[in-house]
Chains A and B, each alone.
Chain A
Amino acid sequence: MPHVALPEGLPGISAGFAFRPETAAPMRELAHILLHEPNSLAPGDRELIAAHVSGRNHCHFCYASHAAVASAHLRDSTVVEKVRADVLTAPVSPKLRALLVIAGKVQQDGKLVMAADIEAARKEGATDLEIHDTVLIAAAFSMYNRYVDGLGTWQPDDPAMYAQVGEQLAKAGYLRPVIQSLVPR
């Protein structure tokens, strides 16, 4: 049961967003810019960073959603699972691997990011903007995850729902709701 009277039938963050549209608007805009707008990092790569942080925060709704968006972009659902299992051996570019290491540190504490981590990412071709966005994506998901968990939102365990939402978010981005009310089971 959610800790506050969230609208019924809306899973995860969509319930928090519907409960408080004033704060939803900038939160949606931030996710849209970071994950969906044109960037030298592909949307699939940025979604892998979001899924990686959400997985490490054990936020089921966020992990399942962004894993699905990443899989929709990549047309491959095995990559996100391999990233979750082990970043160091996952089939991603050396640049993305270095950025995922930075994101994993930010997830714990931003102060853990060392000059050597940044140097390693730069050596693989990461730009200042890509490093900035990696840090902010990891920081932002440290917020979204805590918001979703801290309100005790309903986080269904329905892979088909996440797959469908993932396809829609990959296409449309984050500015407007894509999840319709579902009947709680």
Chain B
Amino acid sequence: MPHIPLPPDLPGIRGAMAFRPETARPLNALVEILLRGPSTLTPGERELIATYVSSRNCTEYCHHIHGAIAAAHLGGNEALVKQVKTDFTQADISPKLKALLVIAGKVQKDGKLVTAADVEAARKEGATDIEIHDTVLIAAAFCMYNRYVDGLATAQPNDPSFYRERGKRVAREGYVAVSEEYLAQRAPLAAR
């Protein structure tokens, strides 16, 4: 049971966002830019970073849904997503993405753990400043989204098929667009 009354038909972060549309808007805008905005990292690669961090934070809703979105971007390759969660060093991904996942894993614990050597390793595989910046911020942002979802004890279904179709839709339409369906009809708290 959620710690506060959230709409029962909206699991995970969606219920929390519907509860407080004012904060939902910048939260959606940030994830839209980071994971779908113009970038030299593909949406699939960025979703894998989000999935990996959420998996390390053991946030069921986030690692399932972002895993499903990642798979949708990667031609339905759910096995690759699973491999990144369990051991990305053995996954069939680029050396650059592996180096960025090392950085993301450190940020997930504590940003101060990122060393010049980690950044150098990523640069050697071709990572640019903005890719390194965005990796740090994706990892940091998912430490927020994960805590938000867990800290309110939101509903987090544990059925992969629940996430698969939703993942395809978010991959197609984006975060801001799909959030409108549950934000549009809700008045800001201030007006309630």
The answer to the question of A136 belonging to the interface, with a C-beta cut-off of 8 Å to chain B, is yes
Contact A3 B116 (CB under 8 A): yes
Which of A5, A19, A136 meets B23, CB within 8 Å? A136
- Contact A150 B140, beta carbon cutoff 8 Å: yes
Docked CA distance A4–B132 (Å): 7
Of A26, A118, A146, the residue contacting B27 (CB under 8 A) is A26
Q: State whether A138 touches B147 (Cβ < 8 A).
A: yes
Given A110-B147, A143-B144, check contact A27 B119 (CB 8 Å): no
Of the 9-residue stretches A28-36, A70-78, A156-164, which lies at the interface with chain B? A28-36
| Interface size classification for chain B | 35 or more
Q: Is A135 an interface residue (CB 8 A)?
A: yes
Question: Which residue of B1, B19, B114, B147 is within 8 Å of A109 (Cβ)?
Answer: B147
> Of residues 89 to 135 in B, which have CB atoms within 8 Å of A's CB atoms?
103, 106-108, 110-112, 114, 116, 119, 129-130, 132-134
Across the interface, do A29 and B140 meet the contact criterion of CB distance under 8 Å?
A: no
Q: A57: CB under 8 A from chain B?
A: yes
The 0/1 profile, CB within 8 Å of B marked 1, for residues 49-68 of chain A is 00000000111000000000
> Are A3 and B150 CB-contacts (below 8 A) given A26-B29, A33-B26, A132-B4?
no
**A3-B119, A23-B33, A146-B111 known; A29-B4 Cβ under 8 A:** no
Q: Is the CB of A147 within 8 A of B111?
A: yes
Pair B130/A20 contact, Cβ less than 8 Å: yes
A25 to B28, CA, bound (A): 12
B139 interfacial contact with A, CB 8 Å: yes
Given contacts A132-B152, A135-B152, contact A149 B110 (CB under 8 A): yes
Check B27–A30 contact: CB distance below 8 A.
yes
Interface string of A118-135 (1 = CB under 8 A from B): 100000000011011101
Interface residues of B in 1-53 (CB under 8 A from A): 1, 3-5, 16, 19-20, 22-23, 25-27, 29-30, 33-34, 37
Q: Hey, which chain A residues are within 8 Å of B16, CB to CB?
A: 132, 136
Task: Please give the number of chain A residues whose Cβ is less than 8 angstroms from any Cβ of chain B in the complex.
Answer: 52
Q: Is A14 an interface residue (CB 8 A)?
A: no
A-B contact pairs, 25 of them (CB 8 A): A16-B133, A23-B34, A26-B26, A26-B30, A27-B26, A38-B190, A59-B111, A128-B19, A131-B3, A132-B16, A132-B20, A135-B3, A135-B147, A140-B144, A142-B144, A142-B147, A146-B107, A146-B110, A147-B137, A147-B140, A149-B111, A150-B107, A150-B114, A150-B136, A150-B140
List 18 additional contacts besides A111-B151, A147-B140; criterion CB under 8 Å.
A3-B132, A4-B129, A5-B129, A26-B25, A26-B33, A58-B110, A113-B153, A118-B3, A132-B16, A132-B152, A135-B147, A135-B152, A138-B151, A139-B146, A143-B140, A146-B108, A146-B143, A150-B140
Residues of B within 8 A of A (CB): 1, 3-5, 16, 19-20, 22-23, 25-27, 29-30, 33-34, 37, 57-59, 103, 106-108, 110-112, 114, 116, 119, 129-130, 132-134, 136-137, 139-141, 143-153, 189-190
Top 6 A-B pairs ranked by shortest CB distance?
A110-B150, A149-B111, A150-B111, A110-B151, A143-B144, A139-B147
Q: Interface residues, chain A, CB within 8 Å of chain B? A: 1, 3-5, 16, 19-20, 22-23, 25-27, 29-30, 33-34, 37-38, 57-59, 102, 105-107, 109-111, 113, 115, 118, 128-129, 131-133, 135-136, 138-140, 142-152
